Amino acid sequence: YNIAVFLGFFKYIGYLAFPIQMTYRYPTLARFMAGHWATEAVHVVPVFGERGALLEHKIFNLFYNWPLTIRRRMQQRNEIRAGLRPRYWHIILCAIAGTAIFVIADWLYMDKSGALPGLKVIWGFAAIVPLLIGTVVTLGAGGAALWKRIAGAALCGVAVGVFSAVISGLLGANDPSGVSAIAIIGIWRAFVFTMISVLGVLLTEIKIG
C-alpha cells in the first residue's frame, strides 16, 4: 500500500497504484473485479481458443496475483529488516558519485561546445544514473523504513542535480548569461533526478524478493 501511494504520482506507472491498493484493502472485491475485467477484456480482443484463455489468465495475474505477490514480498522484507540497523551514510557517497559522473559528462560536452548541456543532450546519463542512485540507496539502507528510503533517494537526487550544475558552471561558464542558465539547468536537473531516483527505489522494492 505504501508503494502504491507514491506510484500514483507518476504518469502511466501510476496506473499500477489502483490494483495494488485495491488488492491490499479489499482482497475479495479485488479478486471479483480482476476476474470480471479479465473476462470482459478477452471479449473485445480478436483472439480465440487457447490464446484467449491465456490472455484472460495474464490479465487476472496483472490485477490480482501480482499485487498479492508484492504485498507478500513487502511483509517478508519488513520482517527481515526489523532486526537491521538503518543506514544513511551511503547516501552521501551516492550523491558524490552521481555528481562526479555528471560533472565529467558536462566537462566533456563543454570542451566541445562551450556551453552547459541540457537534459536532452545527456538524456542517457539523466535516466540511468538517478535510477541507479535510487537502487543503491534502498539496497544499502538496512532496516530503514520505506519513506526514509524514498526521502534519502529524493535528497540525493536534488543534491546531484544542484551540485553538478553549479560545479560544471563554475568550471566552464564564461559569459554573463551563465548564471541564469546554470540556475535553470540546476532546477530542472534537481526535479528530474529526484523523480527518477524515487522511481528507482520503488522499482527496486517491487522487484526484489
Structurally, how many domains does the chain consist of? 2
**Is the same domain home to 99 and 200?**
yes
**Is the same domain home to 114 and 72?**
no
**Is the same domain home to 181 and 98?**
yes
Instruction: Give the tens place of pLDDT for each residue, 5-55.
Output: 555 555 555 555 666 666 666 667 666 666 666 666 656 555 555 555 666
**Is the same domain home to 77 and 93?**
no
191-207: average pLDDT: 89
**Is the same domain home to 75 and 99?**
no
**Is the same domain home to 48 and 96?**
no
Supply the range of the domain harboring residue 38.
Answer: 2-81
Do 143 and 83 form a contact (C-beta atoms < 8 A)? yes
**Is the same domain home to 95 and 191?**
yes
Do 60 and 195 form a contact (C-beta atoms < 8 A)? no
- Higher-pLDDT residue of 12 and 96 is 96
Q: How far apart are CA 167 and CA 165, in angstroms?
A: 6
